[in-house]
Amino acid sequence: GLTEEEIVNNGYRIYTELDQNYQASMQVIYSNVSLFPVAEDGTMAESGSVALDPKTGGVRALVGRVNSAEGSTFRSFNYATQSARSPGSTIKPLAVYGPAIQENLINPSTVIPDTEFTQTFEDGTTWSPTNYGNVVSGGAESARVALYKSDNLPAVRVYQEMQKRSVDVMGYLEKMGFNPAASYTPEDIKNLAFAIGGVSSGPTVLEETRAFATFANNGNYHGGYFIDRIEDAAGKVVFQHQSNP
């Protein structure tokens, strides 16, 4: 590999997948600090964003923090590639509905109860999730509607059935680029709360983006990448990205 000093001082040319129009548009949004909430103590919310081509995995745009044009230092913390956070409800298509459909447990029209649910643990404690706003409709809805509304109770019930049938959830997540030692652990997956984003660590924005791109690419995963090739001062290609879906 090349050292940082070699790249900086030896005239290498680096060709990336960056789209300048996408990048500029994303940067304009992230430079508008009024779009991001501020806590009572004055701390501004941070965020990161990634846009990539689902057919290749090439990253077209990335912003790693709010208002990065001001006050950022070289290699400052990047909230798009370095910040691991709970995925919240974005886990539902990746770990619940997608695998459940693939395993023929459900289809988009499958009716799922949206009723009260309580899990009792060995120590006698209980867990009783609800939908957003502590709402429990007490009825039922199709998987399509449950996903559209992002209701929690249907997702938990589907995930419970997946556990009963020993669906290899980790296998699906690994195929979409998640690291079982960091993003989602085997311990996380055993917990029913995993179906609605209950994790010990979580993924980065880049990991989530490339995983969702799998849906847009007919189920074929591409790891997100930034650099297409590197040439030395004489024009010789010293690095070329190889895509392996």
Triad 176, 179, 180: Cα angle to 5°: 110
State the CB neighbour count (10 A cutoff) for residue 200.
13
| Torsion angle defined by CA atoms of residues 5, 239, 232 and 23, in that order, rounded to the nearest 10 degrees | -80
pLDDT of 222 over the 90 cut = yes
Strands (E), 81-161: 111-114, 119-120, 126-127, 139-142
**Cα–Cα distances in angstroms (integers) from residue 111 to residues 27, 95, 128, 155, 169, in the given order:** 42, 19, 21, 12, 22
pLDDT of 1 over the 80 cut = no
H/E element holding 187?
helix 186-190
Q: How confident is the model at residue 116 (pLDDT cuts 50, 70, 90)?
A: very high
Q: How confident is the model at residue 60 (pLDDT cuts 50, 70, 90)?
A: very high
Dist CA 151 CA 135 (whole Å): 9
**Cα–Cα distances in angstroms (integers) from residue 236 to residues 10, 33, 136, in the given order:** 13, 43, 63
Contact yes or no for 189/170 (Cβ under 8 A): yes
Dist CA 108 CA 221 (whole Å): 22
- Which of 240 and 72 is assigned the larger pLDDT? 240
pLDDT digits (tens, 9 = 90+) for 126-136: 999 999 999 99
pLDDT of 118 over the 80 cut = yes
Dist CA 152 CA 156 (whole Å): 6
Residues in contact with 173: Cβ distance below 8 Å, sequence separation at least 6, in sequence order: 94, 95, 180, 183, 184, 189, 211
Q: How confident is the model at residue 3 (pLDDT cuts 50, 70, 90)?
A: confident
**For 54-73, what is the mean pLDDT?**
89
Contact yes or no for 95/167 (Cβ under 8 A): no
Instruction: Give the pLDDT score at 69.
Output: 75
Residues in contact with 142: Cβ distance below 8 Å, sequence separation at least 6, in sequence order: 108, 109, 110, 111, 112
In Å, how far from its chain's centre is CA 43?
25
pLDDT of 245 over the 70 cut = no
Beta-bridge partners for 225: 58
pLDDT of 200 over the 80 cut = yes
Assigned token pair, 124: 């006698």
Instruction: Give the pLDDT score at 157.
Output: 98
